[in-house]
Structure 1
């Protein structure tokens, strides 16, 4: 099963928030820049995450986003179910499959999907954030992206 970019970006956002000091707010721009996520797309994701209770948002000067509950209470299955538009691994009705109803593929795929979701259900955001200070260091790098690109030298 492959998750959509929407869910991928939601996970990255929550991980970034999860490694922040307790209660500290960050801006959408900070998250966008750290993960190179289009800001307008991230605004939609943040709105969705806030409506679902995963994060809190504060508008205006000094505002920002932060986790809406402790990372140990954010279940990964619940997050995926909240952010994925559809979790159907196969759609036998469109286009109409001539062997629908007589094929075991749909049942097998749904079973595999349920195993995938059950495994996610055993984990929380805290498992992703962990105690690995290296992740925090990686996500707090403030390097200039332009400076990271190799210089192109003109040949004389």
Structure 2
């Protein structure tokens, strides 16, 4: 499994906001883009979604910017990835299980399917109705997410001073 750049940048943005500013300080999207050397345009879309999801606050106006909307201990990493990942379809036969998922604009997190895989179509693979690989991959994906569910943003900023030095 490989997380998308979208999720990577979302997490990195939250890490930046958690370590960089004081609690009352706001930063610009440009600051984050420059710190990580990533596209400001791409990051703007991510920040917009993080704002809609309630992870960050946006402040309009001349001195506007962004800041965390909640304490880092309240930002669950598994939940974040469920919101930012398009799907968890690691093999083609999972695609139809996720086809009701929108792109990154959805406010509904992706769910790891718990379904009867024998009912999925065999459009891409003739052995799909009898294949047990799907169940193993679903189990592995559930385990992956269960591990991420044990972490919060706070766990990833324990070395705040070291991170700050790298982001300057």
Superposed counterparts of 1:71-110, under 5 Å: 71-92=72-93, 96-110=124-138
| Equivalent residues of 2:59, 2:65 under 8 A apart | yes
Say if 1:100 and 1:94 are closer, same or farther in 2 by CA, change over 3 A: closer
Say if 1:105 and 1:118 are closer, same or farther in 2 by CA, change over 3 A: same
**Counterpart of 1:66 in 2: which secondary structure?**
strand
Q: Corresponding residue for 1:112? A: 140
| Equivalent residues of 2:18, 2:157 under 8 A apart | yes
**Cα deviation, residue 35, structure 1:** 0.5
| Equivalent residues of 2:122, 2:129 under 8 A apart | no
Cα shift readout 1:67-113 (whole Å, capped 9, x = no counterpart) = 11000000001100000011222221586110002111111011001
Q: TM-score, normalised by structure 2?
A: 0.80
Whose Rg is larger?
1
Instruction: For structure 1, list consecutive stretches of 5 or more residues without a partner in the other structure.
Output: 141-156
1:5 aligns with 2:33: no
Superposed counterparts of 1:2-151, under 5 Å: 2-19=2-19, 20-92=21-93, 96-140=124-168
**Cα deviation, residue 131, structure 1:** 3.8
Root-mean-square deviation over aligned CA pairs: 1.3
Q: TM-score, normalised by structure 1?
A: 0.85
Instruction: For structure 2, list consecutive stretches of 5 or more residues without a partner in the other structure.
Output: 94-120
**Cα deviation, residue 132, structure 1:** 3.8
Cα shift readout 1:9-44 (whole Å, capped 9, x = no counterpart) = 001100000102213210000001001111110100
